[in-house]
């Protein structure tokens, strides 16, 4: 079997020399374990960019035989460094000659053991079947809502295609620093600690090059960030249900998943795939949220059901999962996202349908883990306590 793989890999060249890895005796290991394969090559003299080119070529060469999530690519070299190192007054920058990202530790594959993070009580993955359904806006506002309720919250923006948390939290120009023991210090805003791909990737990098960085960097965000004590760590996943999303979360000890959908049939169909993905990973699904469920007109306060009504609530019955609640379309929510001030951080929004929606959802999420009967079905609870935390 490994001989077949070796022949598939014979086309992979070292971009520096143009010779095949095989002819340069760089292919050190091709190990097939059931439906998974581990490949190791010698990478001395190969730049991080060329390493990404090689790894993308490996995934391409093997894609008809193995899904990306089942391929682990390791490298060996004569020296070893982390993907990021602290230089210049503790500012985290890409290492000049990064050795292996944390891929080396757990890779893209499912071979590593699932790990918990010390001090972090629950990890929640937030996914959507398709892009643009409001997943990042939801993640940021759920984080702020939980923080306002006195919980200690962290957020990982794992969306390489469109990292948006720095913008949503008004921290676009921040550069994360590191502790003396090389732990990345998360950025803090609105009572929430967060870390984002946006702080590290070069927006001009072709997306295909970002793929191979994923497993490793997400692992760094999970395990090499100074999260401290957290009640919840939320992960904003890239949209979709492909190998990338799967490989990102299969090594982390995720406690539950939330799926965001809009009410249209087509979005729901995709959201169903998201649900299947989480089930495949044997991840407890906390439930589904309907975003942009209706439009509240700011002139007349009338509720318009532009995309239909109750689609997600209907769907969860068939899918045997929980309905966590709905968040209507409101112009102010979009504006606050663009202004970098999450809607839920503004006390003037208290009592509005979006605000109530987030409160109800955050309670159901909390109850999922802390109530013996699972998520509560009631509406949101007491609002008055919520700003006590902010005003401290």
Ligand X SMILES: Nc1ncnc2c1ncn2[C@@H]1O[C@H](COP(=O)(O)OP(=O)(O)OP(=O)(O)O)[C@@H](O)[C@H]1O
The reply on whether position 262 binds Mg ion by CB under 5 A is no
> Rounded distance, CA 219 to CA 112, Å?
11
Q: Shortest approach of ligand X to residue 354 CB, angstroms?
A: 6
Half-sphere exposure of 75 (CA within 13 A, CB side): 29
Q: Which of 254, 292, 316, 386 binds ligand X (CB under 6 A)?
A: 292
Q: Which is nearer to ligand X, 109 or 360 (CB)?
A: 360
Which ranges in 160-253 belong to alpha helices (H)? 165-168, 207-210, 214-223, 243-249
Q: Which is nearer to Mg ion, 104 or 133 (CB)?
A: 133
Total residues in contact with Mg ion, by rule CB under 5 A: 4
The reply on whether position 136 binds Mg ion by CB under 5 A is yes
What is the token pair recorded at 339?
């202004």
Q: Which of 302, 304, 275 is nearest to 287 (CA)?
A: 275
The reply on whether position 336 binds Mg ion by CB under 5 A is no
Half-sphere exposure of 90 (CA within 13 A, CB side): 10
Cβ contacts of 230 within 8 Å, gap of 6 or more: 119, 120, 121, 152, 153, 154, 193
Q: Which of residues 211-240 bind ligand X (CB under 6 A)?
A: 239
> Rounded distance, CA 273 to CA 173, Å?
35
The reply on whether position 112 binds ligand X by CB under 6 A is no
The reply on whether position 345 binds ligand X by CB under 6 A is no
Q: Which is nearer to Mg ion, 137 or 145 (CB)?
A: 137
> Rounded distance, CA 9 to CA 128, Å?
34
Q: Which is nearer to ligand X, 286 or 292 (CB)?
A: 292
Q: Which stretch binds Mg ion (CB under 5 A): 131-139, 140-148, 247-255, 284-292?
A: 131-139
The reply on whether position 352 binds ligand X by CB under 6 A is no
In this structure, are residues 343 and 359 in contact, taking their beta carbons and an 8 Å threshold?
A: no
Q: Which is nearer to ligand X, 66 or 169 (CB)?
A: 169
Q: Which of 38, 125, 126, 133 binds ligand X (CB under 6 A)?
A: 133
In this structure, are residues 160 and 214 in contact, taking their beta carbons and an 8 Å threshold?
A: yes
Q: Which of 131, 242, 284, 381 binds ligand X (CB under 6 A)?
A: 131
Q: Which is nearer to ligand X, 68 or 329 (CB)?
A: 329
> Rounded distance, CA 257 to CA 214, Å?
19
Binding site for ligand X (CB under 6 A): 128, 131-137, 159, 162, 164, 239, 291-292, 327, 329-330, 333-334, 337
């Amino acid at each position: 079997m490994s001989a077949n793989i070796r022949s598939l890999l014979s086309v992979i060249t070292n971009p520096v020399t143009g010779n095949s890895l095989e002819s340069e005796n760089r292919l050190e290991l091709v190990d097939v374990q059931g439906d998974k394969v581990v490949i190791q090559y010698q990478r001395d003299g190969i730049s991080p960019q060329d390493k990404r080119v090689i790894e993308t070529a490996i995934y391409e060469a093997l894609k008809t035989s193995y899904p990306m999530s089942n391929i682990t690519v390791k490298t060996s070299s004569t020296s070893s460094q982390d993907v990021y190192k602290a230089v210049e007054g503790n500012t985290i920058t890409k290492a000049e000659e990064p050795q292996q990202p944390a891929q080396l530790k757990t890779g893209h594959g499912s071979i590593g053991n699932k790990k918990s993070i010390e001090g972090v009580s629950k990890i929640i993955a937030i996914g959507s079947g398709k892009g643009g359904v409001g997943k990042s806006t939801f993640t940021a506002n759920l984080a702020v809502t939980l923080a306002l309720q006195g919980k200690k919250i962290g957020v990982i923006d794992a969306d390489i295609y469109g990292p948006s948390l720095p913008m949503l939290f008004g921290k676009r120009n921040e550069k994360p620093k590191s502790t003396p023991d090389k732990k990345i210090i998360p950025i803090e805003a609105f009572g929430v600690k967060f870390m984002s791909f946006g702080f590290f990737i070069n927006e001009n990098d072709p997306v295909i090059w970002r793929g191979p960085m994923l497993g490793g960097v997400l692992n760094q965000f999970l395990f090499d960030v100074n999260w401290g004590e957290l009640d919840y760590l939320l992960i904003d996943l890239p949209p979709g249900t492909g190998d990338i999303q799967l490989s990102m979360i299969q090594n982390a000890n995720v406690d539950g998943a939330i799926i965001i959908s809009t009410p249209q049939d087509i979005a729901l169909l995709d959201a169903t795939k998201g649900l299947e993905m989480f089930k495949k990973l044997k991840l407890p699904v906390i439930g589904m949220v309907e975003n942009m469920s209706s439009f509240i007109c700011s002139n007349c306060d009338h509720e318009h059901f532009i995309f239909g009504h109750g689609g997600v609530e209907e769907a969860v019955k068939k899918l045997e999962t929980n309905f966590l609640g709905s968040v209507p379309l409101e112009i102010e929510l979009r504006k606050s996202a663009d202004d970098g001030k999450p809607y839920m951080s503004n006390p003037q929004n208290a009592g509005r349908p979006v605000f109530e929606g987030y409160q109800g959802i955050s309670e159901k999420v909390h109850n999922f883990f802390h109530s013996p009967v699972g998520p509560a079905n009631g509406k949101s609870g007491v609002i008055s306590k919520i700003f006590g935390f902010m005003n401290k």
